Amino acid sequence: GAEDGYRLWLRYESLATTQAESLRSQARRVVIASPRTATLEAAAGELRRGIEGLSAGAPIDVIDMPAEGPGEGDVVIGTTGGDWRGAPEQTEKAIGPGGYRVSSQAVHGGTYTAVEGQDQSGVLYGVFALLRALQSGNSIDSIELADHPRVGLRLLNHWDNLDRYVERGYAGQSLWDWWRLPDLVDPRYTDYARANASIGINGTVLNNVNAAAEVLTPRYIAKAAKLADVFRPWGIRVYLSARWSAPRDIGGLDTADPLDPAVRAWWAAKADEIYAAIPDFGGFLVKANSEGQPGPREYGRSHADGANMLAAALAPHGGVVMWRAFVYSETDPEDRVRQAYTEFKPLDGTFADNVLVQVKNGPLDFQPREPFHPMFGGMPGTPLMMEFQLTKEYLGFSTHLVYLGALWEEVLQTDTFAQGGGSTVAKVVDGRLDGHELTGIAGVANIGRDRDWSGSDFDQANWYAFGRLAWNPDGDAHVIAREWLQQTFSTDPAFVEPAAELMMRSREAVVNYMTPLGLTHIMGTGHHYGPAPWVDDLGRPEWNPFYYHRADADGIGFDRTASGSNAVEQYHAPVGEQFGSLESVPDEYLLWFHRVPWDYRLRDGTTLWQALARQYDQGVGQAEAMRAEWETLGQHVDPVRRARVADYLDIQVREAKWWRDACLAYFQARSGLDWPDGVTPPP
Ligand code: GCU
């Protein structure tokens, strides 16, 4: 049938004839070696589905371990330390919760394959690792795989409203059919869970951070509980975004003061009620005192007072609070990018043990490029959860091809110098740097009701890459791109290598045609799609694109050095010094940290105006090159997906030009300079 993209990277298409034959002989049955649980059944079912598809073979059996032990061609799944006859010797290889080992074992002159998990989830992850290897063209012969997740909480954040409108969602309505839940259980919920489990995601926040209090009412708790039942076998827990003022909104109290005993009692009772319906409920995500949301500061209390009160309600049940650091206020004269650090830094070390502070990767808001958020490395006494955005709010929605793995790797591998060189953001997030056991990464989901889930074929890669990097924040985005391409489109190296390179370059392309040289937040107001650097008349100053670039006849850029907002002081030495000095600031952050005249000379000798024009033009060239390359690459792809990707790339080329022409025309009007040499003037 037509390729609607529904199967994501779990396609299990038949391998080439000889590979399929060999798989058929080496994967004849699935044998469950531990007591059956819902998770082991799910793992076994997935394995069967995968092997049957890949080997194009007859249906295979799933059986319990027979008394005589495994036979040749069995694929055995179970938790480590199995005492069945012929169990593999224990090695140190599969370590940590969620860890697995997949190995070939000798039996009766032949071999069987063992998938051992450290725990139930480990078995599931081992099965998916095996299927990933097979789909990527590896043989099951002498297979040896072992891995474990480096981060504890690997969560999607759905910005889904209860009326199914998804805030910043570009893939249709919310998957959650709140109206028909809990009675109608869409089979798609299971496929959602399978896809997440396959990349190690182990939790999902169902509703928008701009939360409706109703989600905490009995009707909605029952609906969430039904989703939790569907997800549980796949190792996925449900979390909810809690509206701070819920005790007032739905609880009949006249206050939400976190230190008020009645408020504390209300939340404790609410937690009990939720856990009675969802015994493994994960906890609350909270956006408080941010962009108009209520919060503890209304009562003169701090973010820590607020977080700790909720933490106390959840602690008896093992739940966590993820308290967001995305706060800024229009009445605060401080540079917006400084505000979160200023507010949270003094609270470091005062949060309860089951609180994580969830921080966006940069100090502004999910831009094509931002320096890392200075809270990473600045809050050693607090577990910090990374928040990435999969849905490309500021990067061309689901229309533009932008592989975010490259962006995330750049952030994770940046050195904060918090404890000298090598103190990367990844080490802050996975807890190594400051010795935190509680760790997490969240991704604002790009998933909706569209048949292809993410609104475009290539946006599925962002979901995939998020899971893989949450599993291992030191992962390599290029390797992950290859893996995804092999499973999603084709294992032919003539396709995979150049397509992976195209994906890696796509991030720099969008930076170039939208916000080169450290420009930021010049997207259209409200919707954030398309250029609008000229907007300067909105009520909230920090929502105006002009606030960020300040272009006039003299120059352009935001001075965040000591002579300006001094945001550079929030970074450790030598990072702050590097950003703060024109000698050493990387070109890609120039206008983020500095205001310079139009004739300012970059290190390569070009003037700022020339360089800006060159970058915009280069971005257009890069988009055109992606489109041209797809003509060849697309030949490895089925006609439906080939054409769909091509259509999107046509839009991207057109809109890259729109960005270039609009921004350069505007900046030219501000600067009064001639149209830059070598750049095609707009029609
Ligand atoms: C951005 C986004 C909002 C969202 C907010 C948040 O500002 O535009 O839609 O609510 O981030 O992260 O809370």
What is the secondary structure of 600-666 as a DSSP string? PBPTTS-BHHHHHHHHHHHHHHHHHHHHHHHHHHGGGS-HHHHHHHHHHHHHHHHHHHHHHHHHHHH
For residue 186, give the nearest of 154, 226, 221 by alpha carbon: 226
- Element spanning 670, H or E: helix 639-671
Cβ atoms of residues 320 and 205 within 8 Å: no
The domain made up of 17-147 is a member of CATH 3.40.50.720? no
Backbone angles phi, psi at 416, to 5 degrees: -80, -15
What's the 514 CA to ligand 1 centre distance in angstroms?
19
What's the 547 CA to ligand 1 centre distance in angstroms?
18
What's the 48 CA to ligand 1 centre distance in angstroms?
42
The three-state secondary structure class of 418 is strand
Q: Which of 160, 168, 387 to mutate to test the pocket of ligand 1 (most atoms within 8 A of CB)?
A: 168
Give the total residue count for the chain: 683
Contacts of 305 (CB under 8 A, 6+ apart): 258, 259, 296
Low-confidence residues of the chain: pLDDT under 70: 1, 91-94
Q: Which of 165, 170, 365, 446 to mutate to test the pocket of ligand 1 (most atoms within 8 A of CB)?
A: 365
CB atoms within 10 A of CB 414: 18
Q: Which of 326, 328, 370, 444 to mutate to test the pocket of ligand 1 (most atoms within 8 A of CB)?
A: 326
Q: Which ligand 1 atom is at minimum distance from the Cα of 444?
A: 12
Cα dihedral 428, 432, 438, 443 sign:
positive
Instruction: Return d(Cα 402, Cα 462) in angstroms, integer.
Output: 9
287 CB within 6 A, ligand 1: yes
Cβ atoms of residues 567 and 363 within 8 Å: yes
131 CB within 6 A, ligand 1: no
For residue 363, give the nearest of 577, 205, 579 by alpha carbon: 579
Instruction: Return d(Cα 448, Cα 412) in angstroms, integer.
Output: 27
Cα dihedral 126, 636, 507, 403 sign:
negative
394 CB within 6 A, ligand 1: no
What's the 534 CA to ligand 1 centre distance in angstroms?
22
Q: What is the pTM of this model?
A: 0.98
Q: Which ligand 1 atom is at minimum distance from the Cα of 389?
A: 12
Q: Can you say how many angstroms the Cα of residue 415 is from the centroid of all Cα atoms in its chain?
A: 20
List, in sequence order, every beta strand (DSSP E) within 447-554.
none
**C-alpha angle with apex 373: 422 to 572, nearest 5 degrees?**
50
168 CB within 6 A, ligand 1: yes
**182 prior amide bond cis, ω within 30:** yes
Instruction: Return d(Cα 337, Cα 375) in angstroms, integer.
Output: 11
For residue 241, give the nearest of 290, 205, 267, 294 by alpha carbon: 205
Tokens matching residue 50: 């995968």
Supply the pLDDT for residue 1. Answer: 54
Q: Which of 367, 393, 529 to mutate to test the pocket of ligand 1 (most atoms within 8 A of CB)?
A: 393
Q: Which ligand 1 atom is at minimum distance from the Cα of 167?
A: 9
Q: Which residue has the tokens 């720099």?
A: 508
209 CB within 6 A, ligand 1: yes
Active-site option among 21, 229, 332, 365: 365
Active-site option among 280, 291, 298, 577: 291
Q: Which ligand 1 atom is at minimum distance from the Cα of 290?
A: 13
What's the 329 CA to ligand 1 centre distance in angstroms?
13
Half-sphere exposure of residue 230: CA atoms within 13 angstroms, side-chain side: 22
What's the 208 CA to ligand 1 centre distance in angstroms?
10
Supply the pLDDT for residue 267. Answer: 98
Q: Which ligand 1 atom is at minimum distance from the Cα of 528?
A: 8
Q: Which of 244, 285, 287, 291 to mutate to test the pocket of ligand 1 (most atoms within 8 A of CB)?
A: 291
CA-closest residue to ligand 1 atom 12: 326
365 CB within 6 A, ligand 1: yes
210 CB within 6 A, ligand 1: yes
Backbone angles phi, psi at 204, to 5 degrees: -145, 130
Q: Which ligand 1 atom is at minimum distance from the Cα of 287?
A: 13
Identity of the amino acid at 683: P
Check if 17-147 and 516-671 are the same fold.
Answer: no
Instruction: Return d(Cα 326, Cα 305) in angstroms, integer.
Output: 17
Let me know if 291 is a catalytic residue: yes
CB atoms within 10 A of CB 421: 8
Instruction: Return d(Cα 76, Cα 70) in angstroms, integer.
Output: 7
Cβ atoms of residues 558 and 548 within 8 Å: yes
CA-closest residue to ligand 1 atom 11: 365
Instruction: Return d(Cα 596, Cα 608) in angstroms, integer.
Output: 8
For residue 513, give the nearest of 639, 642, 623, 668 by alpha carbon: 623
What's the 227 CA to ligand 1 centre distance in angstroms?
25
Identity of the amino acid at 164: R
Cβ atoms of residues 197 and 230 within 8 Å: no
Q: Which ligand 1 atom is at minimum distance from the Cα of 208?
A: 10
Domain extents in the chain: 17-147, 153-488, 516-671
Burial of 287 (0-12, 13-18, 19+ CB in 10 A): buried
Identity of the amino acid at 355: V
Burial of 257 (0-12, 13-18, 19+ CB in 10 A): buried
What's the 484 CA to ligand 1 centre distance in angstroms?
29
Active-site option among 46, 393, 415, 559: 393
- Element spanning 76, H or E: strand 74-79
Tokens matching residue 54: 């890949």
167 CB within 6 A, ligand 1: yes
Supply the pLDDT for residue 234. Answer: 98
Supply the pLDDT for residue 545. Answer: 94
CA distances from 394 to 94, 339, 430 (A): 40, 21, 27
Let me know if 393 is a catalytic residue: yes
Q: List, in sequence order, the alpha helices (H) in 160-217.
A: 188-198
CATH superfamily of 153-488: Glycosidases (3.20.20.80)
**574 prior amide bond cis, ω within 30:** yes
What's the 543 CA to ligand 1 centre distance in angstroms?
12
What's the 624 CA to ligand 1 centre distance in angstroms?
31
Q: Please name the CATH architecture into which domain 516-671 falls.
A: Alpha-Beta Complex (3.90)
